[in-house]
Chain A
Amino acid sequence: MIQFEQVTFTYPGAAEPALREVDLDLGEGELVLVTGRTGVGKSTLLGAVNGLVPRFTGGQLRGRVAVAGQDTAHFPPQEFAHLVGVVGQDPLAGFVTDTVEDELAYGMEQLGLSSEVMRKRVEETLDLLGIAELRRRALSTLSGGQQQRVALGSVLTAHPKVLVLDEPTSALDPTAAEDVLAAIIRLVHDLGTTVLVAEHRVERVVQYADRLLHLPGDGTVRDGAPAALLTDSDVAPPVVRLGRLAGWRPLPLSVRDARRRAGELRERLAGHAPPASAPGGGAVALAARRLTVTYGATVAVSHVDLALHSGEVLALMGRNGSGKSSLLWALQGSGPRRSGTVDVSGTDPGKVPARRARALVGLVPQTASDLLYLETVDAECAQSDTESTAPEGTCRALLDSLAPGIPGGRHPRDLSEGQKLALVLAVQLSSAPGVVLLDEPTRGLDYHAKARFTEVVRELAARGSAVVVATHDVEFVAGAADRVAVMAEGEIVADGPTARVVVSSPAFAPQIAKVLAPQEWLTVEQIAGVLAQEKGVPA
């Protein structure tokens, strides 16, 4: 269905090609997962399928890319609309119309399908994706999961033979991600659609994939069965790493596979207790009392009591729109607050000037790049030192400890997601706040960047800061958080040590916990520690 013949692609001005002599032949009805670290060319590969690369990006493409025999060199992306459906990471950015029904029909209008066909296909697609009750809703009022499903629907109505999905579930909470994935799986099985999907959160998709394309980073593409390729891939979900550790062959790809093999491992671990996460022994760094945030008639946060201890990492979880962001902004003092008090060592950050509040509580917002506006990293750092009246070089030193080796002359826009996050964090930390709030920091980070970020968060806590991370990423929570609070409808519905809160929850449990339940293990590292200890002590 999709053919790549000796494809080499170089971005304009780049020294090295992003894709190098790629040969692929993807058949009908295959679900192909594309993995690799950030910036290795996953999006380039996906964009090349319908000719958006190089027609929208510039650069030079050698070799031949064809879909169903139609060559991208001869036709613009428009002429692939009936063959290839493309869904990006941010569905809202790709919407052309303003209501669900119109968006579903838009592609068909461009193809010139008759009115009757359009009516029929819209109804079918609404049912296929389970969004029939949303048909007249404005697109901007939908939740992330709903938007992503509408975006999927808008390309499905054209009955494409190939679906190209670039990080379709990255921004979604675990339940919404499952809904979107279920819809994709159904397409592959029922309609024989070829699906090419790139995803950082490999654990969500790999169990369904027929084939894996792994981009190691030098422009080449490794192509093979998922279980075989993952044995030495640099991108691997926790369940695969557990399989490697325990020596299971073939590697388990899903929790189910692993659980069926894990009987023996569970027995071995039975005698050990998971290391208890450090109890919030530190002093109370921030205390919020009956905090309420409203927007018009909508109650975003309702009577929340929350205490943050220094040296403790709190993960704030909950579905999209449950009030996590509103709570963080209200705690920092920059966001609106209807009632309630916040107390940071005797001061309320909402009642002091911004500069003072910033020295008490630092917040890294969801779109971290909003904070950056200068041309170079050095300029940002210098500006940050003046803003926080810190000695010159404070911010740069922080940056080097968070992410060493970022060239000072680089434009912040050209940094990778992980480096950008480090820069914004350094900017916010230069005023030395005792409380650090992070809103969805792990978005767009690959496993390595995430592992590095986990260390950063742990170091912050070790230095005595109280850290709050709002996130959907259960694997990150398992590795980084001491305590988890779950929000729903603006209220905190669960609050306790990580293991206790997540292990019992079907949505928020990390893969390792699911495999080894009822034992309260959370990460591969914990298991590795125990097994190493066992080996060290002769039986």
Chain B
Amino acid sequence: MRFSLRPLPRTVHPGAWWLWALAMASCASRTTNPLLLIMILAVCGYVVVRRRSDAPWALAFRMYLLLGAFIVTMRVAFRVVFGGGQGSIVLFTLPQIPLPEWAAGIRLFGPVAAEQLLGGAYDGLRLATMLVCVGAANALANPKRMLKALPGALYEIGTAVVVALSVAPQLVESVQRVRRARRLRAGGQKGARALRGILIPVLEDAVNRSLALAAAMASHGYGRTGRISPRTRLLTGFLVLTGLLGVCAGLYGVMDASTPRYMGAPMLLAGLAVATTGFLIGGRRLRRTRYRPDRWRPGEAAVVLSGLSAATLLYLTTKVDAADLYPSLTPLTWPEIGALPALGILLGALPAWLAPPPVLEQGAYDGESASSRTGAGEHGPTAMTKEPAA
């Protein structure tokens, strides 16, 4: 019997990627050592490159990298402008802008020290790395599939978000189309009147579209209650509402010390329990199933474990030898890499091999001959969408 270690291509549970990414972000939050941070960035980047699909959201990773670079630049620039930290190694001196008496303590420009710049860069890099970790999760996991993993009672919210996500680009397309059409009439108005000429057709379009969508969803059976007695419906509604009221009261009790004891934590817990019961009954009464649900399999466990072990090792380092994690600025020293944190971060790269590779959509485009047979242009009706506003 042969056993292949190479996992089959499939989609990984989005929750696994998110847990892994959050673990990596927590690693980043524990250090300002630029070498370690760059290692984390490299690990995230490598895993993303190896395991992302070719879907549109997967290409957003670059945007997160750019945003990270922007954060680092801004941090350093602020340190130069406001001259926050003092340092002994002055690199160059900018002319200082004298400020009035009441602004004492704030300095604009003036001498720029290496410590001060490095401090800004380290800080910025830490924030940027955490951001890139979140970006990695977004690139690796389909955000819409994450919504699908919500518990049954929150299904409606998930659907609303998905619909909103698809409506936004349609609205943009609508605006572009109408703007082009306005040019055809050579309206020539400015300001409010021109806005009106665009807004009214777009809104009309949006309202029509949402009515059509609502009708289509109803015909597809969305919100089917089945033959359930109105009493059950009344009961769930009552439970959920009472429970949520209890939660509100409980929260108030917890925050306000002057309220009686029972209004605090007990109320909060009781409210949560009642609301959950309502959700559960509600979720059960809606008989609904999932098409190809994401399952938790060894691949997912491996992804999460690698992230968790990285986070654990970093946590241990803070207990054992925290000096490596926060390189000293005064006196200025070279950052060093300790064996323990380095090992931890490298463990985080394991999903690049252990996680199942994504299913690439390349195959979908092999059907070109078939689609041209059906008279389908490669850009189809969206040709209109692709024509940008003049």
Contacts and interface: CB of A to CB of B under 8 A. Distances in A.
Interface string A357-375: 1100011011101111100
B364 A334 contact: no
A102 B383 CA distance: 24
B111 to A, nearest CB: 49
A146 interface: yes
B187 to A, nearest CB: 6
B229 to A, nearest CB: 15
Interface string A163-174: 000000001111
A107 B162 contact: no
A206 to B, nearest CB: 22
B375 A56 contact: no
A300 B370 contact: no
Contact of B291 (A56, A122, A140, A321): A122
Nearest to B208: A93
A218 interface: no
Given A332-B184, A387-B187, A143 B381 contact: yes
A354 B183 contact: yes
A132 to B, nearest CB: 8
A154 B217 CA distance: 11
Interface in A373-413: 373, 384, 387-388, 413
B291 A109 contact: yes
B214 A56 contact: yes
Contacts of B100: none
A380 to B, nearest CB: 10
B222 A320 contact: no
A81 B219 contact: yes
B293 A78 contact: no
Contacts of B212: 88, 90, 93-94
B370 A133 contact: yes
A96 B291 CA distance: 14
B2 interface: no
Contacts of B183: 334, 354
A195 to B, nearest CB: 15
Nearest to A332: B184
Interface in A119-165: 119, 122, 130, 132-138, 140-147, 154-155, 158
A155 B291 contact: no
B216 A96 contact: yes
B216 A373 contact: no
A110 interface: yes
Interface in A89-126: 90, 92-98, 101-102, 105-115, 118-119, 122
A20 interface: no
Say whether chain B's binding surface is mostly helix, strand, loop, or mixed. Answer: helix
A94 B371 contact: no
Contacts of B185: 358, 371, 384, 387, 427-428
Interface stretch (A223-231, A264-272, A322-330): A322-330
A295 interface: yes
Contacts of A147: 380-381
Nearest to B196: A373
A144 B380 contact: yes
A335 B211 contact: no
Contact of B376 (A94, A132, A321): A321
Interface string A326-358: 100100101110000000000000000111011
B374 A175 contact: yes
Contacts of B390: 334-336
Contacts of B56: 138
B369 to A, nearest CB: 9
Contact of A320 (B200, B293, B366, B375): B375
A254 to B, nearest CB: 21
Interface in A422-452: 427-428, 431
A134 B368 CA distance: 10
A537 to B, nearest CB: 45
B375 A173 contact: yes
Nearest to A149: B374
Contacts of A79: 221, 224, 226
Contacts of B215: 52, 56, 77, 86, 88, 94
B201 A56 contact: no
A371 B220 CA distance: 34
A335 B180 contact: yes
Interface in A212-244: none
Interface string B160-183: 001100100100000001101111
A320 B291 contact: no
Interface string A40-55: 0000000000101000
Interface stretch (B41-49, B260-268, B282-290, B333-341): B282-290
Contacts of A171: 381
Closest 3 CB pairs of A and B: A321-B377, A133-B367, A81-B221
Interface of B: 56, 144, 159, 162-163, 166, 169, 177-178, 180-188, 196-198, 200-201, 204, 208-209, 211-226, 287-293, 359, 361, 363-364, 366-367, 370-371, 374-388, 390
Given A295-B387, A334-B390, 20 more contacts: A85-B219, A93-B208, A93-B212, A96-B217, A101-B291, A107-B220, A112-B287, A137-B361, A137-B364, A143-B379, A146-B371, A154-B220, A296-B386, A300-B379, A320-B383, A326-B383, A358-B186, A370-B177, A373-B196, A388-B186
